Amino acid sequence: MTKKLFGTDGVRGLANSWPMTAEMALKLGAAAGRHFRRDGQNRHRVVIGKDTRLSGYMLENALTAGLTSTGMNVLLLGPVPTPAVGRLTNSMRADLGIMISASHNHSHDNGIKFFGPNGFKLSDEDEKTIEVLVRQGVEPVQAQNIGRAKRVDEGRQRYIEYLKTTFPSGKRLSGLKIVVDCANGAAYRAAPELLWELGADVIEVGVSPDGMNINEKCGSTYTETAAQAVVAHGADLGICLDGDADRVMIIDEKGQVADGDQIMGLFASNWARQGRLKGGALVATVMSNLGLERHLANQGIDLLRTAVGDRYVVEAMRKGGYNLGGEQSGHIVMTDHATTGDGLLAGLQFLAEMVCTGRASSDLAAVFETVPQMLENVRFGGETDPLAHPDVQKVIEDGEARLQENGRLLIRKSGTEPLIRVMGECEDEGLLASVIADIVVAVKHHAGD
C-alpha cells in the first residue's frame, strides 16, 4: 500500500487545508494513540512539542483530543526544538512523541512529525499502519479511560541540561561573542539560554516570534541577517537555526557561510583522527557536494549516500552502525548524542572545536573546495508529474550526456513541497548553467498550473 498522508518528514501542508486541518489532526492523534497503546491500562503517555506558528495552537488541541480519546495521557512541552521532542520522548519513557512544525517552511504551512518510544522517527510501516487507522476510524475508549493532558514547563530546560553534557568537561565559552539566529522559531529561548549558561556573550537574532514571522528573512534559509550581525558586532561565530532547530548553518567571523557539507566534513575528519568515527564512513544524501566526497576519499573515509531526508540518513546509520551523518541543508545527525538532526547540538560541537583548538571559525568552517553546484526549484500544480513527460526525460538525458564524467545531475520531486528540484554539479560552470537552464525550461513547460 502506498502512503498518502506522510511525506519524507511526517505530514505537512498548508494550514487549515487538507491534510493540515483540525479534523485530520484529531484523526491522526486517535490513530497514533491506538497504534502505540500497548494494553488497556490508562498509563500511556505522549509528549507534544511545537514551533511558534499560529496554527500550532489549533493542531496541538486537535491532536490532544484525538490522543486522549484513545486513553493516552498527553504532556504538552510548548515551543521546543524537534530534537528535544525526540530526546524527551525517550527520557520521559513516553510511548510516542509528536512535533508540530513545518521546519524551514513559511508560517502558512505546518506539519506533524511522529517519534517512536525510542526517540527515532517512525518507520514506513508504522506510518502506513497509522494511515490505515485514519481511514478506518478508531473506536474511542470508555469514558472512565479517557486520557489526561498537562503542561510540562521544564521540558526546554531538560533539553538544555542534556546538551551541556555533550560539551567538553570543564570547558566554557567565556570570551566568545556568538550570534545565534533562532528564525523566530522553536529554539528562540533554548538556544540563547544554552550559550549564555556556557559563558558566551550572546547576540540574539530571530527571537521575537509572533506566530507569523517564523523563517521570515532569518534563520538557516536566510543567513544574510545573521551574517550582517556577525560582522557588525565583531562576533566570533554565527549559528543559524531553522524554524524547528533541527538544521544549522555556521557563519564564520568574516561573515562567510558554511553549510551542512562543510560541517560534516570537519566532524568526520576530526572524528576519524580521534578514532571516534564508527564504520569509517559518513552518511549523507545524494545532494551532498562532490567536493565533500573527494575530501573524505583523500583521508580514507567513505561517503555513503541516501535518498533526501534526514530520516533516510538515520535509517542507514542505524542499519550500518555509523554515528555521523546528515544533509547539505544543515541536518547534522550524531547518534552518539541524538536520535535526529539537531542544529543546536551541531553548533555546540563546532564551538567545542574552536575552544579546544583555539582556532578561528574561518579556519574550521571551510574544510574542502566545493564543486560548482546549481539548484533551481520549479513549482508544479495539481496531479501533474512533469518528470514523467517524455520531452522532459529527453532533455534530462541530453544534459547528462553533455556533462559526461565531469559532473552529475539530480532531478527530483521535493518530499515536503510541490516543487521539482533541478540540481547539477560540474567543474565547468558555464556548461552547468546551460544544462540546468534547458531542464528548467522543459519542466516549467509541463508543470501545469
**Kindly report the CA angle at 420 between 319 and 53, in degrees rounded to 5?**
75
Cell, residue 53: 506558528
CB atoms within 10 A of CB 383: 6
The answer to whether the Cα torsion of 319, 325, 327, 333 is positive or negative is positive
Residues sharing a CB contact under 8 Å with residue 404, sequence separation 6 or more, in sequence order: none
Return the SS3 of 231: helix
Task: Say if strands 281-285 and 302-306 run parallel, antiparallel, or are unpaired.
Answer: parallel
Of the listed 55, 101, 103, 269, which one is catalytic? 103
103 is catalytic: yes
Task: Say if strands 407-413 and 419-426 run parallel, antiparallel, or are unpaired.
Answer: antiparallel
Residues sharing a CB contact under 8 Å with residue 6, sequence separation 6 or more, in sequence order: 127, 130, 131
Which residues does residue 285 pair with via DSSP β-bridges, in sequence order? 306
Within a 13 Å sphere around the CA of 173, how many CA atoms are in the beta-carbon half? 27
Return the SS3 of 230: helix
The answer to whether the Cα torsion of 246, 287, 337, 367 is positive or negative is negative
Q: How far is CA 117 from CA 46, 75, 85, 285, 382, in A?
A: 9, 14, 11, 26, 37
Q: How far is CA 162 from CA 314, 413, 422, in A?
A: 21, 37, 39
Catalytically annotated residues: 103
